[in-house]
Amino acid sequence: AGSDSGGGAGIPADMKAMEFFRVFSSVAITATTAQNTVGVQDVHLLPENHLKDQILSNFDDFEGSLQVVKTGMLPNRAQIEIIADCLSSHAKKIGKEVSLILDPVMIASTGSRLVDDAAVEALKTKLIPMATLLTPNLPEAAFLLGKKESEVEASLDESAKQFF
């Protein structure tokens, strides 16, 4: 996931939520942002090899106890492919799938787009099929389905079925 410098989203918000529920969390940061309540001023992607190293370090350290992976902002295809490959390799290594909570953070609450077109396609083909739980907000669901928000909202059950 990305790290929101304003503290209201991304890694800071995820860690606060997990701490509230007394769940231990480790992180792998995909990007850092310069943002506030007005908008996103800058996004810096971490190098792909560093993302992979973060993920593998966590998998190695918590091999037997890691049960769930939650994603957030995944801004490009390369990062999505790394995550999918790491999840698949880890599942083979431990002999079972790890539950994937896929939060397709693509649009900031201020309306700024956080991912490129290739990332959207990779989400659809690589990670959505692996997801145990998919948690897009309404704008993200509409964007992924190529529909207007009002169309998705009018038929939530039918829209949800289109993801799987």
Do the beta carbons of residue 126 and residue 145 sit within 8 Å? no
pLDDT along the chain (164 residues), means of 10: 80 90 92 85 92 95 87 93 95 90 85 85 95 93 92 89 84
pTM: 0.88
- Residue 33 parent element (H or E): strand 31-35
For residue 67, the model assigns a pLDDT of: 86
Do the beta carbons of residue 98 and residue 57 sit within 8 Å? no
For residue 106, the model assigns a pLDDT of: 87
d(Cα 119, Cα 33) in Å, to the nearest integer? 18
- Distance, C-alpha 64 to centroid of its chain: 22
Rounded to 5°, the CA angle 71-2-19 comes to: 65
Match 């993801």 to its residue by tokens. Answer: 163
Do the beta carbons of residue 41 and residue 35 sit within 8 Å? yes
Residues 10-27 pLDDT 10s: 888 888 998 999 999 899
Tokens of 125: 């083909």
For residue 159, the model assigns a pLDDT of: 87
Closest to 123 in 3D by CA, of 108, 111, 105, 138: 105
CB atoms within 10 A of CB 7: 13
**DSSP secondary structure of 36-61:** -SS-EEEEEEPPHHHHHHHHHHHHHH
Closest to 67 in 3D by CA, of 87, 89, 41: 87
